Structure 1
Amino acid sequence: MSAAAEPIPAFLDNKTVDFPDGTCYVLLDPLTNYRSCHDGTPSESRMVFACKSAANDEEYIMKVKVQLPAEGQPPVEGPSSTTAAELVALEKFRDAKLTCAPHLVSFKKVPQGSEFPFPGGFVTYTVMTKMPGSSLFGTYWNMPGGEREAIVKGALDALRSIYALGIEPVDRGMRNVIWDPTTKHCSIIDFELWNEVSETFKDDTQEMQRWGLVRRPPPKDWFMEWAYQYR
């Protein structure tokens, strides 16, 4: 992901974030713009940063989410439904010592102050491990065929490990597949939306098609596409 084109909102422009466990992280470049989220409840916006530990300069990812005003919606303590789901997944990956998905490092929720858009609503800060490499979005289909084959193999291995923990990612997209060409390591990120499952996928090709890593024939109509994506 590239640095954000939009400036950091003034209420997030605090360069250091302290956590209840005594750790402190310094914000580096934003990896996304500050924008509204549409998947979880209550309404919120988020911004994702690279950050580093103030103790040892090790780099991590910090996801900041801010509850937004909405008609008939009171301030709440949080977290949102998508943050709660991601915390469960990140803890599972950490406990299983998974190398193909991020681990939870630190988390805190605090009420918004008067400088925020919805005083009394929540702000959540989630720090997770930074996976090596970069997103495949915008680059994958320009790669040599041999490298794409290696990525498909790595993605399948990563997903089998994730499914083995009972987690099926919902937000399938190249932007959430991280590839390190030096080590040939593939990771999957973004677990705000996932389904609990008891078994892995049965068709490798179909699964890779859902992630956009293998081409597939165009659907005959919109219903077939909907059924394919969300079954």
Structure 2
Amino acid sequence: MAISTLSSPEFLDKVVDFPDGASYELVHPITDYRACHDGTPLEARILYTCKWLGSTGDQEYVMKVKVQIPGNSKTDIPKPEEGPSTTTALELKALETFRGANSAYAPQLLGFKRAVQSDSCPLPGGYLTYTLMNKIPGDTLFNLHFWGLPEDERRDIVQKFLKILRTIYELGIQPEDRGLRNIMWDRETKTCNIIDFEMWKETKQTITDETKELQRWGLARSPPQKWWETWFSEGH
């Protein structure tokens, strides 16, 4: 495995102790540490690969760390909150649903922890949350350059993706954060998974228009629009 060149915030502990007594070491950051504006309160997040310190093997897991942060205004300091954020609460609900259904097509929730930020953190007294999940094999279709893959492989991905998405809809979950960055593909085992459920809504429906759904996820090309069609579609 290549060593990550992404930086890790100095205020984060390298070992996270969970309520069940298990401890996990943060190994390599998967993403940058950056603010995310989808939920409330304002927070930053970073993902890591991690390992269980009670294991003698080399199995890796994924840890999503969320940090409540102050805004840009020096006078408008937010009140420290216990957390989790609205997006984390949504993701936890989805992951618990997948776990209850023994779903093999999405991350499995393995642990969750809330902590209070110390004086060396961005917002002392605010929350830190840690969501522990299994590591999905493969890479995202964004990183794999989906549209540069062989046509037969793209066709296989699309068919397996639709099957998985229908299964997720049947659990009452309609993902709202659609994109190639949230679809995992393992080229060795030819398996597909969907990740990141911070934004979704409950549904009793199923997929009614496969083409439009694939276009929303970036798995099918949208028909070209003339400039005035685009202009009107944007509400002008």
Q: Shorter-chain TM-score: what band?
A: over 0.9
TM-score normalised according to structure 2 size: 0.90
For the pair 1:200 / 2:206, whether they are aligned, the reply is yes
Instruction: Supply the distance in 2 between the matched residues of 1:83 and 1:168 (Cα, whole angstroms).
Output: 16
- Are the counterparts in 1 of residues 69 and 123 from structure 2 also a CA contact under 8 Å? yes
The aligned amino acid for 2:65 is V
Instruction: Trace 1:111-190 onto structure 2 (pairs within 5 A).
Output: 111-138=116-143, 139-190=145-196
- Are the counterparts in 1 of residues 29 and 49 from structure 2 also a CA contact under 8 Å? yes
For the pair 1:97 / 2:102, whether they are aligned, the reply is yes
The aligned amino acid for 2:105 is C
Instruction: Supply the distance in 1 between the matched residues of 2:42 and 2:177 (Cα, whole angstroms).
Output: 19
For the pair 1:62 / 2:59, whether they are aligned, the reply is no
- Are the counterparts in 2 of residues 3 and 30 from structure 1 also a CA contact under 8 Å? no
Q: 1:152-198: per-residue Cα shift (whole Å, max 9, x none)?
A: 01110111111111000111000100001111110000000001100
Count of matched residue positions in the alignment of Structure 1 and Structure 2? 224
CA deviation after TM superposition for structure 1 residue 15, in Å: 2.0
Aligned residue among 87, 91, 107 for 1:82: 87
Q: Residues 11, 133 of structure 1: CA spacing in aligned structure 2 closer, same or farther, 3 A cutoff?
A: same
Instruction: Trace 1:8-47 onto structure 2 (pairs within 5 A).
Output: 8-12=8-12, 14-47=13-46
Q: 1:118-156: per-residue Cα shift (whole Å, max 9, x none)?
A: 000000000011111111104101100000000001110
TM-score normalised according to structure 1 size: 0.92
Aligned to 2:50: 51
Q: 1:37-74: per-residue Cα shift (whole Å, max 9, x none)?
A: 11000000001001111122421110000001132520
Q: How well do the aligned residues superpose, as a CA RMSD in angstroms? A: 1.6
The aligned amino acid for 1:221 is T
- Are the counterparts in 2 of residues 4 and 33 from structure 1 also a CA contact under 8 Å? no
CA deviation after TM superposition for structure 1 residue 93, in Å: 0.6
Instruction: Supply the distance in 1 between the matched residues of 2:136 and 2:172 (Cα, whole angstroms).
Output: 21
Instruction: Supply the distance in 1 between the matched residues of 2:70 and 2:62 (Cα, whole angstroms).
Output: 26
CA deviation after TM superposition for structure 1 residue 218, in Å: 3.2
Q: Gapped runs of 5+ residues in structure 2? A: none
Q: Which has the larger radius of gyration?
A: 2
Instruction: Supply the distance in 1 between the matched residues of 2:173 and 2:234 (Cα, whole angstroms).
Output: 23
User: Structure 1: which 4+ aligned runs deviate by more than 4 Å?
Assistant: 2-6
Question: What percentage of residue pairs aligned between the two structures are identical?
Answer: 53
Q: Residues 222, 15 of structure 1: CA spacing in aligned structure 2 closer, same or farther, 3 A cutoff?
A: farther
- Are the counterparts in 1 of residues 6 and 30 from structure 2 also a CA contact under 8 Å? no
